[in-house]
Structure 1
Amino acid sequence: MNNTITQTNFNFPGQKSVYKGKVREVYNINDEQLVMIATDRLSAFDVVMPKGIPYKGQILNQIATKMMKATEDLVPNWLTATPDPNVAVGQLCQPFKVEMVIRGYLSGHAAREYKAGKRQICGVAMPEGMQENDKFPQPIITPATKAEMGDHDEDISREDILKRGIVSEEDYEVLEDYTKKLFQRGTEIAASRGLILVDTKYEFGKTKDGKIVLIDEIHTPDSSRYFYTEGYQERQDKGEAQKQLSKEFVRQWLISNGFQGLEGQVLPEMSDAYIKTVSERYIELYEHITGETFVKADVSNIQERIETHVLAYLKP
């Protein structure tokens, strides 16, 4: 389990600053481009687990870059190059301080809210009489405010976003439009692979010339939930849990071990054997969603490999 990358401390030419998120570390180069490194860190309930998951960063980065290429005809994105399996390089953007969450099904956080008796989420009504994992009549957008590392993201309504001036109405309409288009394309891609895209989140930023672009990740197991199409309806009819490919299985494992990120709760220890199964599940999702066999990168010295590739790319 030692061959993982859980933190970086590079000093690239022209480096201005480093932002360390829950999973990604972003290096600002000359206030012009960003070098984004996907680490093997795993976060759940907004808490970063102490051990890395082998190949997770590579999987996230490669799914995200493939999905950006598969949607760039619909929505512009920040990406310009992928010099290393764990690295994406793109335009410097000013991120919007909201995550655009879109849900096609009553699952995860929405299902937990519904079970607690709530029939509204982020100001959006949810129909009566639904059971967990039922499909919504139409996908619903349930934004969240962006959190710094260690803080919980918060549900927020469209009305509050506009009232608090977090995003202008003009820009928010673009974010909503892009979110719907990306989810529709993601749904089609998933369906072609025998999967259902249940819910996902998108993040957007503005380039220096004021263009709104998709940033960060897209349609990865960290940002999305997938079900298998085969057997979905039978499982719903029988009231059984859905077979899914997402990070939800980690959340469920944590819940079963008494942890939901709440104050006073102790993080359960993940054994090496369990970490190996998490890695295998991530590889399984990669192969299902991309339709390609996962090729493991050389992990004998990940830090050195990344540094070599990024320096070669940045060389004038």
Structure 2
Amino acid sequence: MPILDTVNIPELPNHYHGKVRENYDLPDDNRIIIATDRLSAFDTILTSIPYKGQILTQIARHWFDQTSDICPNHVVSYPDPNVVIGKRLEILPVEIVVRGYLAGSTSTSILTRYKAGQREMYGITLPDGLKPHQKLPEPIITPTSKAFDGGHDEPLSPAEILFEGLLSEMQWQTLSDYAFKLFARGQEMAAKRGLILVDTKYEFGVDENGTIILADEIHTPDSSRYWIAETYQNSFDNNKVPRSFDKDFVRNWVSQRCDPYKDPIPEIPANLVRDTSAVYIKAYEAITGDVFDAAAVDQHIHARVRRNLEPYFTV
């Protein structure tokens, strides 16, 4: 199974090594973003999942194409299945999370906080009597601080965002409007594919003119929670989590065998890697409606990426 776990193209300028992406800043204020197959969790790279980088790039491409009438996005071109050329932006310090259901397991999720007795959070008051995984009366935005350099995201309210000067009032209103419209489009299109878009996060930046532009990725299974619609009602009635694209096999396997923040990470079994890859393929096909032809993927991905990026070589 072909894997792109490292990228080394010295002919490209201004390299920045991310956890799962390799970035090169071009002289024309654009950025080459190469999605590798690396899987990051617990502040480390656990393994690489075949096709992951290509699948996430192409799912994001599907959604960028389907939402370009709502707001501008950073996409300039796609020279390779694993690569997007994007407009280089100043990323805004607030991450926008839109939620349509009472769900989640992290410390910033509304379900975790609701179970702990909180009703006021993120500048919003939720009603009493909601059950886990229940649809909210209407979608809400739960913004968090955008943690750079390995920090942790912290919950914010709109009042805090404005008071701390993270965004101007006009920027906040624009981001909110874009986010709700993007989410509505996502839910509408997902429903036609037999899916529920439960929640998602958006990242925005500004260009040299101050224009707010959608960046990073959109509605991928890594940035969004999808449930299989036909499983929802029965699961909800029986207090179970609706079936989703469970890609956390590797994370769960590791956490069951060690403290991943303190102990050495055991070697990830090959069958676990294959199973996770199959989930990404299934997610791609369910979300886009297209068939993923694994046999057509070049076995030498690095050589293909390098070949397709030759027009951007500077040395």
Structure 2 segments unaligned to the other structure (5+ residues) = none
User: Which shows bigger deviation, 144-153 or 30-39?
Assistant: 144-153
1:242 paired residue number: 242
> Cα offset for 1:116?
3.0
SS, match of residue 244 in structure 1: coil
Preserved contact between residue 250 and residue 268 of structure 2 (Cα < 8 Å): no
Measure the CA separation in 2 of the matches of 1:151 and 1:124: 25
Change in 2 beyond 3 A, CA 1:278/1:120:
farther
Partner of 2:77: 81
Rounded to whole Å, the distance in 2 between the matches of 1:237 and 1:121 is 26
Aligned to 2:29: 32
- Counterpart secondary structure, 2:96: strand
1:8 deviates by 2.4
Aligned in 2, Cα 1:116/1:101: closer, same or farther, shift over 3 Å? same
One-letter amino acid of the counterpart of residue 98, structure 1: V
Amino acid at match of 1:20: H
Cα deviation, residue 246, structure 1: 5.3
Shift of 1:43: 2.8
Provide the C-alpha distance between the structure 2 equivalents of 1:158 and 1:268, rounded to a whole number of angstroms: 42
Q: Is the 8 A contact 2:40 2:46 kept in 1?
A: no
Cross-structure match for 2:275? 277
Q: For residues 98 and 265 of structure 1, what CA distance do their matches in structure 2 show?
A: 33
Equivalent residue, structure 2, for 1:92: 88
Matching residue of 1:8: 7
- Is the Cα–Cα contact under 8 Å of residues 46 and 265 in structure 2 kept in the other structure? no
Secondary structure of 1:270's match? coil
The correspondence for 1:71, drawn from 57, 67, 70, is 67
- What amino acid is the match of 1:57? G
Secondary structure of the residue aligned to 1:305 is helix
Tell me if structure 2 keeps the 8 A contact 1:4–1:299: no
Q: CA deviation at 1:42?
A: 1.9
1:169-193 alpha-carbon deviations (Å, 9 max, x no partner): 1111111110001000000110010
Gapped regions of structure 1 (runs ≥ 5): none
Deviations 1:235-273 (A, max 9, x none): 1011122101254566555565566x7x64765653221
Partner of 1:114: 114
- Please report how far the alpha carbon of residue 305 of structure 1 lies from its aligned counterpart in structure 2 after TM superposition: 1.3
Name the residue aligned to 2:98: 102
Counterpart in 1 of 2:299?
300
Kept after mapping to 1: 8 A contact 2:249/2:272:
no
SS, match of residue 49 in structure 1? strand
CA RMSD in angstroms comes to: 2.4
Distance 1:70 1:201 in 2: 17
Work out whether 1:21 is the aligned partner of 2:22: no
CA offsets 1:130-186 (integer angstroms, 9 cap, x no match): 222111111111112222354332222222222221111111111111000100000
- TM-score normalised to structure 2 length: 0.89
The number of equivalent residue pairs is 309
Question: Which portions of structure 1, spanning 4 or more consecutive aligned residues, are displaced by more than 4 angstroms?
Answer: 246-259, 263-269
The one-character-per-residue Cα deviations of 1:200-223 (angstroms, maximum 9, x if unpaired) are 001111112221111110000110
- Quote the Cα distance in structure 2 between the aligned partners of 1:305 and 1:256: 37
Cα distance in 1, alignment partners of residues 250 and 158 from structure 2: 30
Whichever residue aligns with residue 194 of structure 1, its letter is G
Residue 226 of structure 1 corresponds to 226
